[in-house]
Amino acid sequence: MNLALDIAGIPVSPDHYIGGQRVASSESFEIFSPIDMKPLGRIAQGLHAHVDAAIQAAQRAFPAWAALSAQERHTHLMRFAAEIERRADALCIVESNDAGVLHSRMRHGVAPRAVQNIAFFAEHALTLQDQRIETEQATHFVRHDPAGVVAIITPWNAPLMLTTWKLGPALAAGNTVVVKPPEWAPLTCSLLADAAHAAGLPPGVLNVVQGTGAVTGQRLVSDPRLARISFTGSVPTARAIAQAAGANLVPVSLELGGKSPFIVLADADLDNASRTAALMYRNAGQVCLAGTRLLVHERVAGDFTQRLREQVQQLNIGDPRHDATEIGPIIHPRQMNRIQGFVDRAIAAGATCLWGGQRHAFGPLYYQPTLLTNVKQDSEVVQNEVFGPVLTLQTFASDDEAITLANGTDYGLGGICYGETAHATAVAERVHTGFIWVNSFGIRDLAAPFGGCKRSGIGREGGDWSFEFFCDVKDVVVPK
């Protein structure tokens, strides 16, 4: 066992958590804070033996965990949720330092949501076994049986939120889990293991194997003993995972990137629309569901852009640990170079940069909120996810043209549409995405489906949809 890292006074184990115990590794890698690029310490690299031990521990724990009633698992998971809540301050501080996520967002959004993610699905599982179908011939008792050992793999931009969003239903359904946290922001998953331990979750029910995607992640998803793989991350990684899972015929759930349209119709309330558009820069644009393609009716484009400019000028860029900050750092120099590359190539290809376009003086990993216009629909910056504070703006002259532009990428995660409500709703219904907000942004409910169309993913999470994935649905037919 290695000494805990000290993250602003909070001890965080750098080791794996396997079978209810901390397990060290002979190999490790360094992590740093994107706030100032100062090293935070070294994290265990998950080797073949660790992945193997974690899957074995999960397999050993499975029969007893699966045999518990939903009510008994509910009791365990409510204790787990309470332990997460008890650690809320620590989780917020650690993720802010580790991933550069705004502390205010952690405090008011992510931390309460992490608790809810566990509690909601524990509660929801209680209703699952009630389903039955009556016919003249028979009663069909529809059972949601646990599937087995589940692998959960999450990205760095929202590790606490996304890991609990998957853990809640996976565990409530009676599965046991191996989590592989993101290597650029692995620390809150380690604290989740502490919470599980303190809550008395039986050893092996929840295991955490730290490590890089290429080594640990690839090893994990290639294992034929898995019953499910739940992944959130990028399209290229999803392809690698789907290939590995395909070889073993393991079902996968894929929540991937987005290039969501933000449509502003001519009858939109431009103040509201521009205020919401400025939110797309939050978390430095490192948000999968952000509406990064502004599609604005040509009649109001000038007016909208002026209002957005005023909003952007007021944005506070700086240290994510301070409550007033609205835009924090980019996660990693590699990501920073990628963003700058997109912007430079777009400008070289004829785009106009209305604001931003370069690094921000606050620190090495800060980037200015950027808006590019005069971009072609088939250009790289319109077609690909930048995952930084970079928006594009295109104009349209009719609803049909707006829809064509909105649907004209390979992505289909989300969308936003501002306009007179009935008009905006009618346009929203024609956009090919997994969800779309009308005159709003970010309203989520744990019971509602979440997921993407086209290259933005396979499957839906949330409410019953999570259980459809994490369970083996079985029809027990009893004749009358």
| Active site members | 255
Q: How far is the CB of 272 from ligand NAD (least distance, A)?
A: 25
Contact 278, 246 (CB under 8 A): no
- Per CB under 6 A, does 402 bind ligand NAD? no
Q: How far is the CB of 185 from ligand NAD (least distance, A)?
A: 8
- Per CB under 6 A, does 234 bind ligand NAD? yes
Q: How far is the CB of 444 from ligand NAD (least distance, A)?
A: 11
Supply angle C-alpha 48, 51, 52, rounded to 5. Answer: 80
Considering only the stretches 83-91, 233-241, 352-360, 415-423, report the one whose residues sit in contact with ligand NAD under the rule CB under 6 A. 233-241
Q: How far apart are CA 389 and CA 367, in angstroms?
A: 7
| 341: number of Cβ within 10 Å | 12
Q: How far is the CB of 223 from ligand NAD (least distance, A)?
A: 11
| Phi, psi of 428, deg, nearest 5 | -60, -35
- Per CB under 6 A, does 385 bind ligand NAD? yes
Residues 237-256 binding ligand NAD (CB under 6 A) are 237, 240-241, 255-256
For ligand NAD, give the closer residue by CB, 288 or 428: 288
For ligand NAD, give the closer residue by CB, 45 or 96: 45
| 405: number of Cβ within 10 Å | 18
Contact 206, 16 (CB under 8 A): no
- Per CB under 6 A, does 413 bind ligand NAD? yes
Q: Which CA distances in Å does 350 have to 343, 346, 393?
A: 11, 7, 14
- Per CB under 6 A, does 257 bind ligand NAD? yes
Considering only the stretches 2-10, 177-185, 312-320, 370-378, report the one whose residues sit in contact with ligand NAD under the rule CB under 6 A. 177-185
Contact 123, 466 (CB under 8 A): no
User: Which of 14, 233, 328, 459 is the binder for ligand NAD (CB under 6 A)?
Assistant: 233
| Phi, psi of 289, deg, nearest 5 | -90, 10
Q: How far apart are CA 127 and CA 372, in angstroms?
A: 49
User: Which of 218, 379, 384, 407 is the binder for ligand NAD (CB under 6 A)?
Assistant: 218
For ligand NAD, give the closer residue by CB, 183 or 194: 183
- Per CB under 6 A, does 183 bind ligand NAD? yes
Q: How far is the CB of 248 from ligand NAD (least distance, A)?
A: 13
Considering only the stretches 66-74, 141-149, 210-218, 372-380, report the one whose residues sit in contact with ligand NAD under the rule CB under 6 A. 210-218
For ligand NAD, give the closer residue by CB, 334 or 480: 334
Size of the site for ligand NAD (CB under 6 A): 31
- Per CB under 6 A, does 153 bind ligand NAD? yes
What is the SS3 assignment for 431? coil
**Is the four-CA dihedral 229, 334, 9, 105 of positive or negative sign?**
negative
Q: How far is the CB of 89 from ligand NAD (least distance, A)?
A: 24
Q: How far is the CB of 153 from ligand NAD (least distance, A)?
A: 5
**Is the four-CA dihedral 24, 166, 79, 71 of positive or negative sign?**
negative
Q: How far is the CB of 17 from ligand NAD (least distance, A)?
A: 16
For ligand NAD, give the closer residue by CB, 45 or 154: 154
Q: How far apart are CA 404 and CA 119, in angstroms?
A: 41
What is the SS3 assignment for 9? coil
Residues 450-469 binding ligand NAD (CB under 6 A) are 452, 457
User: Which of 34, 146, 174, 182 is the binder for ligand NAD (CB under 6 A)?
Assistant: 182
Cα torsion for 425, 419, 299, 342, to the nearest 10°? -80
Structure-token match 């599609």, residue found: 295
For ligand NAD, give the closer residue by CB, 51 or 295: 51
- Per CB under 6 A, does 258 bind ligand NAD? yes
Contact 14, 2 (CB under 8 A): yes
User: Which of 342, 367, 387, 465 is the binder for ligand NAD (CB under 6 A)?
Assistant: 387
Scored b (16 or more CB within 10 A) or e, 134-162 reads: eeeeeeeeeebebbbbbbbbbbbbbbbbb
Q: How far apart are CA 427 and CA 53, in angstroms?
A: 51
- Per CB under 6 A, does 155 bind ligand NAD? yes
User: Which of 288, 317, 327, 351 is the binder for ligand NAD (CB under 6 A)?
Assistant: 288
- What is the per-residue DSSP string for 104-129? HHIIIIIHHHHHHHHHHHHHHHTTGG
**Where on the chain is the footprint of ligand NAD (CB under 6 A)?**
153-158, 180, 182-183, 212-214, 217-218, 221, 232-234, 237, 240-241, 255-258, 288, 385, 387, 413, 452, 457
